[in-house]
């Protein structure tokens, strides 16, 4: 009986870990899909549609603002605010990708290509 309880507890724990990984793994892809779906929507009812209607330059400017806010919170060390500003920054980055036709998979592929390379070696390869 005790072994059964331990096995159930372990299975439940593994299931929770698996679920959180699957949620975390794909949240940016799901967010990108939502952002894409807002193209052409009513700017009066959708913040994302409003950004699209203002153009790439405005989206890029907003991304820059959010990056600075994340930077400030990172320096201050305020973790909850850094988390919130990071989420804002990622949202605006994905919006810029959507506005310029960059698909998340292209970025994931580039990150995978760099995996295992030292930062020094990767930067040096760009200079060639």
CATH number for the domain that contains residue 96: 1.10.287.1080
Any domain includes 79: yes
Q: What is the C-alpha to C-alpha distance for residues 99 and 63, in angstroms, rounded to an integer?
A: 12
pLDDT tens, 95-121? 999 999 999 999 999 999 999 888 787
121 vs 58, which has greater pLDDT? 58
Residue 99 covered by a domain: yes
Q: Are 48 and 92 in contact, with CB atoms under 8 Å apart?
A: no
47: in domain: yes
Q: How many residues does the chain have?
A: 128
Q: How many domains is the chain partitioned into structurally?
A: 1
Res. 34: pLDDT tops 80:
yes
pTM to 2 decimal places: 0.75
The rounded percent of the chain whose pLDDT value lies above 90 is 69
Q: Which domain holds residue 28?
A: 23-110
What's the confidence (pLDDT) of residue 117?
Answer: 81
Q: For the chain, how far is it from start to end, CA to CA, in angstroms?
A: 65
94, 32 in Cβ contact below 8 A? yes
- 105, part of any domain: yes
Q: Is residue 95 part of a domain?
A: yes
The answer to the question of residue 31 being in a domain is: yes
Percent helix, strand and coil across the chain, each to the nearest 5: 85, 0, 15
Integer-rounded Cα radius of gyration of the chain: 20
The answer to whether residue 119 sits within a structural domain is: no
Note whether residue 117 is domain-resident. Answer: no
């Amino acid at each position: 009986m005790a072994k059964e309880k331990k096995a159930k507890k372990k299975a439940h724990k593994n299931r929770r870990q698996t679920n959180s990984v699957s949620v975390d793994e794909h949240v940016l892809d799901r967010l990108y899909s939502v952002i894409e779906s807002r193209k052409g929507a009513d700017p009066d009812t959708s913040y994302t549609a409003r950004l699209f209607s203002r153009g790439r330059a405005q989206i890029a400017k907003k991304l820059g603002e959010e990056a600075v806010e994340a930077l400030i919170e990172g320096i201050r060390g305020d973790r909850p605010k850094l988390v919130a500003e990071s989420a804002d920054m990622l949202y605006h980055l994905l919006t810029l990708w959507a506005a310029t036709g960059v698909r998340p998979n292209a970025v994931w592929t580039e990150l995978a290509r760099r995996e295992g390379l030292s930062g020094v070696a990767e930067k040096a390869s760009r200079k060639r």
